[in-house]
Every structure is written in C-alpha cells, then in structure tokens.
Amino acid sequence: MEVALQQSVQLLKSARAPLFAGLATDVNGMRATLELADRCGGVLDHLNGDAMFRNIRVVQDNGWVACTLSEARNRADLILIIGTQCFDRFPRFVDRVLLPRESLFSPKAGRHLVMLGPWQNNRLPATLKDYAPITLHAHPSQWADVAGMLRARLGNRPVDSGRLGGQLAEGVEELARLLREAKYSVITWSAAELTFPHAELVIERWAALARDLNQTTRSSVLPLAGNQGDITSNQVCTWQTGYPLRTSLQYGYPVHDSR
C-alpha cells in the first residue's frame, strides 16, 4: 500500500490535468476527493455523468417543476412513466411509489398509471399486470412528438396527429384528457435509458409539458436517478464549489463545462 501511495503521489505531481472519475463514494469520500483535486488542479466527473447531465442541462437551461418520491406516492392521481427500464433500474419503485399500501391523499384505487414506450406485456412487473395500466406503444424516436402533441392539445392548438399513427394518436388524445382532469400528475423517466443523441431535448419537452399543466392544475416531473453515489457526489461538488460535476479546478477557481 505504501508503494502504491508513493507512486500515486508522483503521478499526481507530474500530471497537468488529472481526472478524478468514478466517484462512487459517500459525502466524506467526495469531500476528500474535492480537497485533493483542488490541490492537484484536477477535473471531476462521475461514471454516471452522461445520464446525470441529460437532466442537469435541462435544469440549467430552462428549469423544471419537480417533486419528491414522497409527493408522488402521497399526492399523484396520474403517473406517466416514460421508457421501459425504470423497473429494472429501480425495482422498489412499484411498491414504494406507484402502488404503496398506504398513501396520505391519493389512494391507489383512484390512481391512473400510463406507460409510454416500446412495452411488451411480458416485461411488466406482475403487480402492474394485475392493475392493468394504460400502455402507449411508442418508439423513443416518437417521445418528443408525443410530448409536443400533448402540449398542443392541452393548449387547444391544431396538430397533425397522423404523424404518430392511428393507435398511438388515439392513445395520446386520451392521455391529454386524463392529464387535463388530473389533480396532480407526475411525469417520470430514467435518463440512463435515453442513450440517443440530443436526449436532453426530449427531457426538456416533458418538463415543458409539466410547466404548461401547472397553469390549470398541478403537475411535476420526477427524474429517476441515484446509484453508485452519483447524486451524492454531484450535491457535494455543487455545495463545495458552486458548480455541479464536470468541473475543472486547474485554474485556481472552478470552471464548469457540462458537455
């Protein structure tokens, strides 16, 4: 161990721009990493940085109206789930949030679940199959158009529903009605699933939909994230430097570049 530490010290002394990556650690681990990176003029990024910054760029550019897991559990009467990987990545999401045994203001019997994505029935969790959620089959390339059509419908603007195809267009019309009537809707996704180019533009459209809905009712987004210490590392970096991860400390002061 002593030899490894000595070699690490020499490498850091000779490096011009050392990268401190991975960062799957806790608060104290991230604070120590930041202190070391500051002394070495390092650059900070997390192993989940690509997914995390799809969300962060939307917040930086436009902001959004977000809720907590507890708010979704206790208040949402409609939850729109975008994508098909959220249950694989967050297996407790069903019993903790979507269909909890108890909630304060929104009993699960009166809650609508709408699932948008290339779903197949054999991939649904067993508890959801019994609940019979509304499923809208849409390829990821169509998600931005679906959000745009919903915003247009809710704003009473004309749309060309034919570009989505008959069955999906009908489902979107029904979803627009449900969103309009909901007292508290929640739109949720996992950014790790959005691996196509410019995915943050799709997220921005869904965030804009929630913002539109708040003119007449209540709506929030709920981005699903948080593994390998990514949220912790980002929060510590933000509180210590004033910037999120993907920040350089080479110049004696922090310089952030999310790209």
User: Pairing state of beta strands 247-248 and 43-44?
Assistant: antiparallel
Provide the whole-model pTM.
0.88
Domains and CATH numbers, the chain: 23-34+41-48+230-254 (no CATH), 58-224 (3.40.228.10)
> What pLDDT is stored for residue 121 in this prediction?
61
DSSP 183: S
pLDDT tens digit sequence for 197-254: 889 999 999 999 999 999 999 999 999 987 888 999 999 999 999 999 999 999 989 9
Share of the chain above pLDDT 70, in %: 99
DSSP 108: G
pLDDT at 2 over 70: yes
pLDDT tens digit sequence for 125-139: 777 777 778 999 999
The mean per-residue pLDDT over the stretch 134-159 comes to 91
Rounded Cα distance between 95 and 92, Å, is 6
Helix (H, G, I), strand (E, B) or coil at 41: coil
The mean per-residue pLDDT over the stretch 76-102 comes to 88
Q: Are 254 and 37 in contact (CB under 8 A)?
A: no
